[in-house]
Amino acid sequence: MPFKQFDELIDQWNPSRGIEDSSTPPYTWYTDTNFFEQEVAHIFQRAWVPVGRSDQVEKPGQYFTGSVVDNPYVVVRSLDDGKLYAHHNVCRHKGSIVALQDDESQHNSCAFFQCPFHGWEYRHDGSLKKAPLLGRQVKFNDERFGLPPICVETWGPLIFLDLDGPFGGISNPRDLKADVKELDDVLSATNWDKLKFYKREVYELKCNWKVFVDNSLDGCYHCVYAHEQLANQLNLDQFKVEVFKRGSVQKGPTKSPDPRLGESVAYCYLYPNLFINRYGHMMDINIVEPLAVDRCRVIIDFFFDHKDVEDWESRKRIREDISSSHLVQQQDIDVCEYTQRGMNSVSFRSGRYSSLLEQACYAFHVLHWHELRGLVT
Ligand code: FES
Ligand SMILES: [Fe+2]
């Protein structure tokens, strides 16, 4: 797609009108394949994106695999030096996936990686250990045939990757710690990093990734209609939205101390695709993975108070809490998929914001416009 055309798509929305006078971004932002491809190239391949948890690679030798917008990666804690590494999980011989994983919620470990195709071996730091039966080579330099490195960082229980190779390592100008500063202040007060991971649920949605993000940033506008039971437990009149440079928090009290939600809830968002929802004895962390212009995957990791995970009574309550969350999630999936279908209609061009409730959603679109334009430093 010529750059001008992409430029025109971005500029179908004006980020400087203010929430009261602004339409929402046009349907093309949610339905145009070329726009999606540019989002992948300009945003997801050039940002810190969350991929997993530190407890998956707690012990030396443990690793997990996945893909960031179709780029397979492996994250590993090295047996040799105990450090955390991330690499493109792509063999330097013929491009096969190297590290395989049986079950993403289990701990995987190995002494080194061996490609399943022709057996090339790589150390945990990515360097080439052995290339069997290669025969005589001219100008073959082992050092140039390691797994390509990816920048890796942690925040709280989370691991982030930045695929943008040239900016790797300490010279990376994108500062994750600065990006999360305000959210860290909100979450630190809730002991979020002391909670224990319990279970992962994965959902596939037939909608653009931003439909899910928009839904989660509407200041609970949809709660009364889409989540009647949840809305009855929240004191929505006292809900507040705080917008930060690269995220937001929507928070408010519950109606009475609720066994699941506690006294208050805090729904935190970090651009582009992370939600951290902290309430009561629990927390759910949502990573929204774009799969195609009209498909995304939402990975939800549930965390609980450590003592809650231990005894049988608590486990029973945890199961109930997770099934309540599952119900809420299913309701969100329904409205997100209705929205994607509606956006494909010739009748829909763009919508409007609630100026009372949707400040976080508006801020997301303004930041996204600037990121797509390459105007964020
Ligand atoms: S593709 Fe990996 S060893 Fe051949
Ligand atoms: Fe919802």
Confidence (pLDDT) at 5: 86
Average pLDDT score over residue span 228-237: 89
Rounded CA separation 57/52 (Å) = 9
β 48-53/113-114 pair status: unpaired
Confidence (pLDDT) at 172: 61
Confidence (pLDDT) at 104: 61
Cβ pair 72, 86 in contact under 8 A: no
Rounded CA separation 256/218 (Å) = 23
Residue 100 CA to ligand 1 centre (angstroms): 13
Ligand nearest to the CA of 225: 2
135 token code pair: 């025969």
- pTM (predicted TM-score): 0.95
Confidence (pLDDT) at 305: 87
Q: Which residue has the tokens 């409007």?
A: 352
93 token code pair: 């011989």
Could you tell which of 87, 88, 96 is best to mutate to test the pocket of ligand 1, judged by most ligand atoms within 8 Å of the CB? Answer: 96
Is the distance from the beta carbon of residue 93 to the nearest atom of ligand 1 less than 6 Å?
Answer: yes
Residue 159 CA to ligand 1 centre (angstroms): 28
On the CB side of 24, how many CA atoms lie within 13 Å of its CA? 23
Ligand nearest to the CA of 224: 2
Average pLDDT score over residue span 205-223: 97
Please, what is the Cα angle at 341 between 339 and 344, to 5 degrees?
A: 110
Give the residue, by CA position, lying nearest to ligand 1 atom 4. Answer: 118
Q: What is the pLDDT of residues 75-123, one digit of tens each?
A: 999 999 999 999 999 999 999 999 999 866 578 999 999 999 999 999 9
Cβ pair 207, 296 in contact under 8 A: yes
- Encoded amino acid at 350, one letter: S
Could you tell which of 88, 90, 94, 147 is best to mutate to test the pocket of ligand 1, judged by most ligand atoms within 8 Å of the CB? Answer: 94
Is the distance from the beta carbon of residue 130 to the nearest atom of ligand 1 less than 6 Å?
Answer: no
Classify residue 87 as left (phi > 0), alpha (psi -120 to 50) or beta: beta
Contacts of residue 317, Cβ cutoff 8 Å, sequence gap at least 6: 259, 308
Confidence (pLDDT) at 265: 93
Rounded CA separation 217/196 (Å) = 26
Confidence (pLDDT) at 171: 55
Rounded CA separation 233/151 (Å) = 41
Residue 118 CA to ligand 1 centre (angstroms): 5
Rounded CA separation 283/261 (Å) = 10
Could you tell which of 120, 122, 128, 134 is best to mutate to test the pocket of ligand 1, judged by most ligand atoms within 8 Å of the CB? Answer: 120
* Peptide bond preceding 272 in cis form (omega within 30 of 0): yes
304 SS3 class: strand
Would you say how long the chain is, in residues?
A: 377
Give the residue, by CA position, lying nearest to ligand 1 atom 3. Answer: 118
Contacts of residue 169, Cβ cutoff 8 Å, sequence gap at least 6: 149, 151
Confidence (pLDDT) at 168: 53
Q: Which atom of ligand 1 is nearest to the CA of 119?
A: 3
Rounded CA separation 351/243 (Å) = 21
Q: What is the pLDDT of residues 159-197, one digit of tens each?
A: 999 998 555 555 566 889 999 999 999 999 999 999 999
Residue 92 CA to ligand 1 centre (angstroms): 7
The answer, yes or no, to whether residue 64 has pLDDT greater than 80, is: yes
- Encoded amino acid at 89, one letter: N
Rounded CA separation 314/319 (Å) = 9
Q: Which atom of ligand 1 is nearest to the CA of 96?
A: 1
Residue 227 CA to ligand 2 centre (angstroms): 7
Is the distance from the beta carbon of residue 118 to the nearest atom of ligand 1 less than 6 Å?
Answer: yes
Confidence (pLDDT) at 315: 87
Residue 353 CA to ligand 1 centre (angstroms): 52
Sorted by where each starts, the structural domains of the chain and their CATH numbers stand as 48-173 (2.102.10.10), 181-368 (3.90.380.10)
Could you tell which of 118, 122, 133 is best to mutate to test the pocket of ligand 1, judged by most ligand atoms within 8 Å of the CB? Answer: 118
The answer, yes or no, to whether residue 139 has pLDDT greater than 70, is: yes
Of the listed ranges 133-147, 276-290, 300-314, 340-354, the one predicted with least confidence:
300-314
Ligand nearest to the CA of 132: 1
253 token code pair: 């009290």
Give the rounded distance of the alpha carbon of 253 from its chain centre: 26
Residue 113 pairs in a beta bridge with: 122
Confidence (pLDDT) at 131: 97
234 token code pair: 């929240």
Of the listed ranges 219-223, 269-273, 306-310, 365-369, the one predicted with least confidence:
306-310
Confidence (pLDDT) at 295: 98
| pLDDT tier for residue 371 given thresholds of 50, 70 and 90 | very high
Round the average pLDDT of the chain to a whole number and report it. 93
Rounded CA separation 124/84 (Å) = 9
The closest of 152, 154, 157 to 197, measured between CA atoms, is 157
Residue 163 CA to ligand 1 centre (angstroms): 22
Cβ pair 186, 249 in contact under 8 A: yes
Cβ pair 186, 156 in contact under 8 A: no
Q: Which atom of ligand 1 is nearest to the CA of 94?
A: 1
179 token code pair: 């990006």
